[in-house]
Structure 1
Amino acid sequence: MHKLPLIAPQPPRLSEMTEALRAIEARGIYSNGGPVVREFEARVVAELFGGVGAALAVNNATIGLILAIRQAAQGRKGKYALLPSFTFAATAHAAIWAGLTPILVDSDPNDWAASAEAEEAALARHAGEVAVLVPYDTFGTCIDLARYARLSEQHGVGVVVDAAASLGSLDAEGRGFATGANFANVFSMHATKTFATAEGGLIYSADADQVEALRRMHNFGFGAPRSATEPGTNAKLPEILGLLALAKLDEIDAVAGHRAALDKVYRTSLGDTVTFQATNARRQVAQFMPMLLPEGSDRAAVMAELAARGIGAGHYFAPHLAQQPYFQRECLRTSTPVADDLAARMLSLPITDAMTEADVATICDALHAALRKPRIVVPAAPQKILSTVLIGGGPAGIAFLISASKKGKLRELGASLAVVERGPSLGAGELPGYAITSDSTAETFLSAVKDNPEPAIAALTDHPAAREIAQYVGKLGVPLHRTAPFLEAMGERVGAVVAEAGGHVLTGHEVLDSRRTPAGLWQTRIRNRATGAERDLLSENIVIATGGYQSESNVTAASVAGAPLGEQVGTRLMLCDDMLRTGGIDRLRERIAGKRAPRIAIIGASTSAIASAVLLLKSDIPFGAESLVLLHREDLRPWYPSAEAAHADGFTDFGPDDICPLSGFVYRLAGFRLEARELVLRMLRIGGRTPDPRVRLHQLAGPDPETAKLLAEADVVVAALGYRPHALPLLDATGNRIALTAHAPGRPRLADQLCRVTDAEGQPIPGAYGIGLAAGFVPEGRLGGEKSFKGKANGLWQWQNDVGQLIVDQLLGQSVSLAA
């Protein structure tokens, strides 16, 4: 059988260079920038970069990246390096070794390089904190370097291009990739690359002074004879490897041309079957042929079928960086849905110097056959009965598991637990997609990991993401868009403990429904979002942590001042959830475009209502006097740590039933905190504070002409009338849908005071529990809370402490009581 390996290194043969080797021996110069290496540096600039700029040969590309990133970061205040998650580990390692923390961003779905939108969003989010951009020229596609020059200028950041597989690529104008770029571009000459030697790297820049500075760094930082004047290391390329580089330079045009022809055959033969990378290159020096399999393909089965025919295959880069344990611990991660999809569907097929176009045809036929081959169904083993299925691995779900860890019960719980999360990772859910600050303190976020009995979770205290949260200790909350790295790092650690204990973490899966079996178990149907495959999980209990949502139909039907809100405001209605999310203010601006003095009405007395007002006041929308009106039924109450503190501040509108007997807090549950509290204190003129002149408070009390007038005058009406629970479809043993209290109109509850999911009659459903936004749990008895509170209580601290523990105890068979 004719073998076609994925990678077949073919560097030049040292055995055919005897005269050149003898010349090295005769000179007695084996390293330290000898004549062979210097000749290669000069020739590569002349032949591949049009004679523009300079180049430095180094012992490998990873060291080259470390040097270049370190140099690019010098003199800059930033602590981050911004790079795509869909790249090789060397890129992130280099940034870390250079003293920076990588921020991993998503990819472009067309050319698979870093997403421009994701990069610019991260630069805006971390303004002034990014030292270096490290884009990857994914598989030699010739990314737009002019854009990076503009970003460098606009944001004051350095740029280092990871061009590992691109030496010999020609850009759209037919020039060697990176020609004329005034920043470092780092190429690999590893044996597996198209420009194959044994090992080595090349740093090119159009700025010759920059290359000379790197030359000093690569020789121990010697800026004076045998005297270090700057950071340095030993990164010199030996003379013998310089011989290989010179020989490869002689043949690179022929090698690249041959591989380009093979690339063309692949695209012609498979274009209607797989998805290929878009390229800007006139000539792409293919190291292998990357492609995306059709959605739902079984990649492992395809690779096994190809291997049986003697065809090598790989999946670069799967897992991508944000899916690898070390980088999950050491990097800040952003949402990476495109990279997740690339990693799930990527297949790399052979392009080697020895292959022919007939070989490519053979591989394409084999791939077509493998994709057509039906999957072999292996009889399933008897289904294991789990203790619990946790549905939802977002902030509330992970807080529930944190509550178990704080009591040393996570491993006991996790031994027979499955966590099902529709997103690519645990922890963050949709929370970082909001453009407001948290109503939980930074201390609350960090308390989840501080002194946690699980060492790996406790170690997060020193994680870069925890240090990010710690910047907001003592301040008015944490910007929610900055919570993702910490929440995901916590989710990764919690998930690892569950897996170590014998449980299962199923990210990228969605739950369709859960059915009560005749034996009293829960049969939960889940679907793999990448492949569409469905299967069942059988468990004694389910915990629903699927969050809440705002229903436009419920909001429009809500009665305000005696009439349905929708009838009064029509298309001027905007749900506060939409406005509070990233981009929401821009969507609101579109609604008020052309209004010189816009008027906004916010309806509600919830935290979301006040958060909406705070967000609008912090925007650049030109509000006039009382042009932002807050219409509320309930009194607006600020939180205080004690009755004494309230009186000292001049606030007296509370009584004994408004004080939590456990903590002594005034309005522990009903009171506004942090940024919302500051606005409420001003608007109520507490302690002599001056109200914001742009805001007007108006209390609703039945039909009211003034209310109708305010609604009629508003250009946009923001409805902050609470959240409904995402109620998972629950079925009885006959397959009929169970009616739940969560299905009631308005703002219903999902669960009772023991966190048990309740049916339409208010009766608890055995083995079903709920936690999180809109679940409706209200602390009482031994859990504290003021007697006067009538609403829903939502809070990260509650979920990761008493409320979560209430469910944990029931799952582990312990009796619970709310009695004080």
Structure 2
Amino acid sequence: MKPLPLIAPNPPRLSEHLDALRRVEASGVFSNNGPEVRAFEQGVTDRLFGGHGASLAVSNATLGLMIAIRQAASWRTGGLNPKPGTLAIMPAMTFAATAQAAAWAGLTPLICDVDPDDWGACAREEERLLQYHGERVGMILPYATFGNAIDLERYVDFRDRYGAGVVVDAASSLGTLDDAGEGFGARAPFAVVHSMHATKTFAVGEGGLIHSGDVALIATLRAMANFGFDGSRSAMLPGINAKLPEILAIMAQAKLAEIDTVAGHRAALEATYREALAAFQLQAVSGTRRATQFMAVLLPERLAHHRDAIVASVEAQGVGCGRYFSPHLGEQPWFQATALIEPTPVADKLSGRMLSLPITDAMSMADAQRAAGALTKACAAILVPRDRRTKTGGGAARTTGRTTGQGGARAIASVIVIGGGPAGTAMLTSATKRGALPALAASGLMVVERGGAIGGGRLGRYAITSDSTAQTFLTAVRDNIHPELARLVDHPAGRAVAAHEGALGVPLVEVGPLLRATGDRLTDIVREHGGVVLTGHEALGARRVGDGLWSVQLRRLSDGHVFEQLARNVVVATGGHQPLDRLAAQRVAGASLVDLASGRLLQSDDVLTVGGFEKVADLLTGKRNPKIAVIGGSTSALTTIALLLKSRPAIPLGAAAVTLLHRRPLRPFYHSVEAAHAEGFTDFGPDDICPVSGFVYRLAGFRLEARDLVLRMLAVDGRTPDPRVALHRISGDDDAAARAHIEQADLVIAALGYRPIGMPIADRDGAQIPLAAHGGRPMVDRHCRIVDSEGVPIAGLYGLGLAAGFVPWGALGGESSFSGQANGLWLWQNDVGSMIIDQVMTHEVKAVA
């Protein structure tokens, strides 16, 4: 039986084109856009692209991508020199050349998840990242997965709405026809880059083709492919030598002459496969014909971990078998070190299940049926022994060892951390600073996170500047004893944050990638030492089941499967929110806030997240001199005002357009009494000074951008208040002026702080334990222990993070006059995280650490 190789290159035979070779020799032109190249470019434009636009032949597709990316990355600005740190969005499931080309063009790859059906870039993720990173995104680089004719209108829309350039990696698509029956990319207003490598359907040997419906664009790229020469021997543009040699152009012309026959045959092979593999999950395709390179198929999920054995079995039957794209981009070491990688749960699953079967020019339909049968047979051989049931004497399956079968978790975990956001991972970071994370993981650590990865949480989704310095974020990784964490200082995410050292905070959209990259490394450390990180899971509640033991009910989000996990300790780090029911009960100056605002009410969280400003702008459309009332004296209130003042495009705010209504005095932070006195600020007493650090208003004081605004509004040290902002301190329930400000405002923004996101806690009998947090009091005591409604700590339960209510004390410092709660990444990553670790780690584990 003849072997069926996965790939059988079939470029044209040069020996059959001697006349053309002699023609090249006679011309004396072997490169530099000679007559053979020009003839091919015109021929491919006419024959495959219906005469639309123009084509540029290049020496390989990677070089084609590099020059196209360089041009497109500055589409918004019109220049050809993208700023350092400019991002290129691309899907996880594409070839390494896609990301390498972006890096060589000076961009940082931003790798996103894919669609579970067509395996191309996920549209929702692309748009989220465009909103999330804003002008940092220079371009979008979708991949026409396995020759698919992807939706190009989507990218026209993205380009027009977000100003990002577009280049389509269509390496496998030369010969693909779109839904209109035209060559894929025929009318595209941006560059579509095809490969002519020997392994492709349009097999030449080496080479690439850039096509666009925009003739002027191709002219620019032609100059860039010729050292940047544009009409002279003087470089006018960034350039490189990417020209296709004349001899390869002869082969390209020959392949063009037969491409319809070749692509049609391969399409018929794919149709045969699809009929034979109907029981397997296959790619959702688009277009009327695909220039198929091979047949991609997904193994059933229950067989994914047997993939190596299945591949070996298929190949033993004489059928070539590959694993494109496994590992995907986000799993490859170079990109893990140099790219920004979003959570990719879909790509992770697809990559682990994917196989490739051969589609070659020499195959028959019977060969395709034989290859499909080989895969079916290999899978059946695995399934038969899996379906046998081994029973013990009592008829029940026997469980041995240290695991429960749920993600490798221990029968009893030492500690479960509920929530893998900034607070939950800050506790792990605290452990790394003490060298204790390996021991904590080995003792039975489990982290449970709803999202696809730990680290970022929602922090990076806020369109504001942090109230922590760049140095604070970098201390989590800088000089860390774990080298994989320490190296993040030089990672693109680390460099982006470091660029803001000395500034008033860091844009949180730039903090998010560093936190996610840190979370990825922490995940690796935890798993390497026997701990468990369960992403895509949520905790439904915890119930006390015995002395010193809790049962946490967990749900896997992918399929709704619910199971129980025992633990000795539970740390709740689920973050905070602004519940709507709080608004309904909120009273301001003696009146109901909901009644006063009368349908004009937003919460600050709605404003501060990415896209929130656009919501505000829509609500104020048509208002010539809008009035905005912001209620609250928290950092979120001041940050909301700062966002409104510096918004682009600007809201037409006149004098006193924004009024801040607050109850307590606004206090700026100072590093020392002397620094405060030097600016003439004396509104503090001994109880307002931290005895540990000497800071004035260490906990109650505003910092960074919020502090700068407060100092201006209080006219400290001669600063000039912003005329657009007015302050009104609410005097009591009879403050008619406060009520009038709210009633007359076009928009009311409630910045009333955050409440903890609760999780049901039950006693042994299943009855809910009433918690202090249910009554609006702090969730935790001074040792970060969760307390009940009587203020009694509940053994084995801890909390940290936004809205937990922790107040520093003793050696942690803080002014005695402070009332409220202290939130801060630095605290969580250091003293607060260590406080919890000291309580949850056994004496034996501490000794090892």
TM-score (norm 1): 0.84
For 2:365, the equivalent position in structure 1 comes to: 356
Report the 3-state secondary structure (helix = DSSP H, G, I; strand = E; otherwise coil) of the residue aligned with 1:483.
helix
Partner of 2:664: 634
Partner of 1:782: 811
Equivalent in the alignment of 2:506: 478
SS of the counterpart of 2:749? strand
CA distance in 2, matches of 1:166, 1:195: 9
The residue correspondences of 1:661-700 to structure 2 (distance < 5 A) are 661-700=691-730
The alpha-carbon deviation at position 714 of structure 1 amounts to 3.1
CA deviation vs aligned residue, 1:26-84 (integer Å, no higher than 9, x gap) = 999999659998876675455434566344253x5335434554576683233335132
Deviation of 1:713 (Å) = 2.5
2:83 alignment partner in structure 1: 78
Match of residue 749 from structure 1: 778
Q: Does 1:165 align with 2:194?
A: no
**Within 5 Å, which residues of 2 pair with 1:524-673?**
524-619=552-647, 620-673=650-703
Structure 2 alignment gaps of length 5 or more: 74-78, 390-396, 404-409, 845-849
| Aligned ranges 1:515-526 → 2 under 5 Å | 515-518=543-546, 520-526=548-554
User: Which residue is 1:739 aligned to?
Assistant: 770
Q: Is the 8 A contact 2:343 2:453 kept in 1?
A: no
8 Å CA contact 2:276, 2:372 repeated in 1: no
Query: Where does residue 463 of structure 1 map in the other structure?
Result: 491
> How far does residue 231 in structure 1 lie from its aligned partner after superposition?
5.8
Per-residue CA deviations over 1:374-418 (Å, capped at 9, x if unaligned) read 985886543333332222111111211111212222222232322
Task: Give the structure 2 partner of residue 818 of structure 1.
Answer: none
**CA drift at 1:445:** 1.0
Counterpart Cα distance in 1 of 2:440 and 2:22:
67
Question: Residue type of the partner of 2:739?
Answer: A
Is the 2:225–2:240 Cα contact (8 Å) retained in structure 1? no
Q: Which residue matches 2:755?
A: 724
What is the distance in 2 between the residues matched to 1:605 and 1:162? 50
* Whole-angstrom distance in 2 between the partners of 1:809 and 1:124: 41
Q: CA, structure 1 residues 192+494, in 2 after alignment: closer, same or farther (shift >3 Å)? A: same
Number of aligned pairs? 804
C-alpha deviation, 1:313, in angstroms:
7.7
Alpha-carbon separation, structure 2, partners of 1:138 and 1:209: 27
Alpha-carbon distance, 1:753 to partner: 0.8
**Within 5 A, what are the aligned runs for 1:237-276?**
248-261=255-268
Stretches of structure 1 lacking an aligned partner (at least 5 in a row): 816-820
- Contact in 2 for aligned 1:440/1:477 (Cα 8 Å): yes
The 3-state SS of whatever aligns with 2:171 is: coil
The alignment status of 1:433 with 2:455, answered yes or no, reads no
- CA RMSD in angstroms, aligned pairs only: 4.5
The equivalent residue for 1:413 is: 440
Letter in 2 for 1:82: A
Q: Is the 8 A contact 1:779 1:793 kept in 2?
A: yes
Q: Which residue of 1 aligns with 2:291?
A: 285
1:798 aligned partner, one-letter code: L
- Residue 796 of structure 2: aligned partner: 767
Whole-angstrom distance in 2 between the partners of 1:598 and 1:346: 56
CA 292–635 in structure 1, closer or farther in 2 if over 3 Å, else same: farther
CA distance 1:189–1:553, change in 2 (3 Å):
same
Deviation at 1:300, TM superposition (A): 5.2
Contact 1:262–1:357 (Cα < 8 Å) also in 2: no
Q: Which amino acid aligns with 2:195?
A: S
Question: Measured at CA, do residues 662 and 145 of structure 1 come closer, stay the same or move farther in structure 2, by a change above 3 Å?
Answer: same
- Pick aligned residue for 1:713 from 744, 750, 753: 744
- SS of corresponding position for 1:468: helix
Q: 1:811 aligns with which of 840, 843, 846?
A: 840
Q: CA 1:57/1:591 → structure 2, altered by over 3 Å: closer, same or farther?
A: closer
**Structure 1, 620-629 or 178-187: larger mean CA deviation:** 178-187
Q: Which of 801, 817, 820 is the equivalent residue of 2:830? A: 801
Structure 1 residues 358 and 28, CA gap change in structure 2 (3 angstroms): closer
Deviations 1:780-805 (A, max 9, x none): 11110011111010011111111111
AA aligned to 1:658 is D
Could you tell me how far 1:724 is from its partner in structure 2?
Answer: 1.4
State the one-letter code of the partner of 1:330.
Answer: T
Q: Which amino acid aligns with 1:698?
A: H
Give the TM-score, by structure 2 length. 0.81
Tell me the equivalent position of 1:62: 62
Map of 2:48 onto structure 1: 48
Q: Write the letter of the residue equivalent to 1:526.
A: L
Q: CA deviation at 1:690?
A: 3.0
Q: Is the 8 A contact 2:416 2:447 kept in 1?
A: yes
The letter of the residue matching 1:656 is P
Q: Distance in 2 between matches of 1:322 and 1:332?
A: 9
SS class of match (1:179): coil
* Alignment correspondent of 1:392: 419
Change (3 A) 1:622 1:298: farther
Q: Give the secondary structure class of the aligned counterpart of 1:801.
A: helix
User: What is aligned with 1:141?
Assistant: 148
1:306, 1:366 within 8 Å by CA — same for their partners in 2?
no
| 1:129-165 Cα distance to aligned partner (Å, 9 max, x none) | 5555433223333345577678779988765431111
Offset at 1:623? 3.4
Cα drift, residue 498 of structure 1: 2.0
Q: Is the 8 A contact 1:599 1:716 kept in 2?
A: yes
Distance in 2 of aligned mates of 1:98 and 1:582 = 28
- Post-superposition offset of 1:814: 6.5
**Partner SS state of residue 766, structure 1:** strand
What do the CA deviations read for 1:185-229 (whole angstroms, capped 9, x no partner)?
33224455333466654444656645654654699x9x989x9x9
Does the 8 A contact of 2:417 with 2:570 survive in 1? yes
What do residues 410-454 of structure 1 show as CA deviations (whole Å, max 9, x unaligned)? 222232322222111121111111122111111211121222222
Output the CA distance in 1 between the equivalents of 2:806 and 2:496.
31
Aligned partner letter, 2:805:
G
The answer to whether residue 7 in structure 2 is matched with residue 9 in structure 1 is yes
Q: 1:94 & 1:273 partners in 2: Cα distance?
A: 34
- Determine if contact 2:167/2:192 at 8 Å carries over to the other structure: yes
Residues 653 and 235 of structure 1, relative CA distance in 2, 3 Å threshold:
same
Does the alignment pair 1:507 with 2:535?
A: yes
Measured in 2, the distance between the counterparts of 1:596 and 1:499 equals 57
Answer yes or no: is the 8 Å Cα contact 1:517–1:732 preserved in 2.
yes
Cα separation, 2, equivalents of 1:612 and 1:39: 61
Match of 1:792 among 821, 827, 832: 821
Q: Any conservation in 2 of the 1:508–1:528 contact (CA below 8 Å)? A: yes
Identity of aligned residues (%): 50
The yes-or-no answer on 1:328 pairing with 2:336 is: yes
Q: Summarize the Cα distance change of 1:621–1:500 in structure 2 as closer, same or farther, 3 Å threshold.
A: same
Tell me if the contact between 1:84 and 1:113 (Cα under 8 Å) persists in the aligned partners.
no
Structure 2 residue matching 1:800: 3-state secondary structure? helix
- The Cα shift of 1:128 comes to 6.0
| SS at 1:635 equivalent | coil
Name which of structure 1's ranges 262-271 and 324-333 shifts more when overlaid on structure 2. Answer: 262-271
Q: Of 703, 715, 733, which residue of structure 2 is paired with 1:703?
A: 733
2:182 to 175, 182, 191: 175
- Partner letter of residue 397 of structure 1? G
SS in 2 for 1:517: strand
> Alpha-carbon deviation of 1:94?
2.1
The 3-state SS of whatever aligns with 1:810 is helix
Distance 2:742 2:67 in 1: 62
Question: How far is 1:662 from its partner?
Answer: 0.9
Q: Is the 8 A contact 1:77 1:128 kept in 2?
A: no
Q: Is the 8 A contact 2:224 2:238 kept in 1?
A: no
Change (3 A) 1:148 1:708: closer
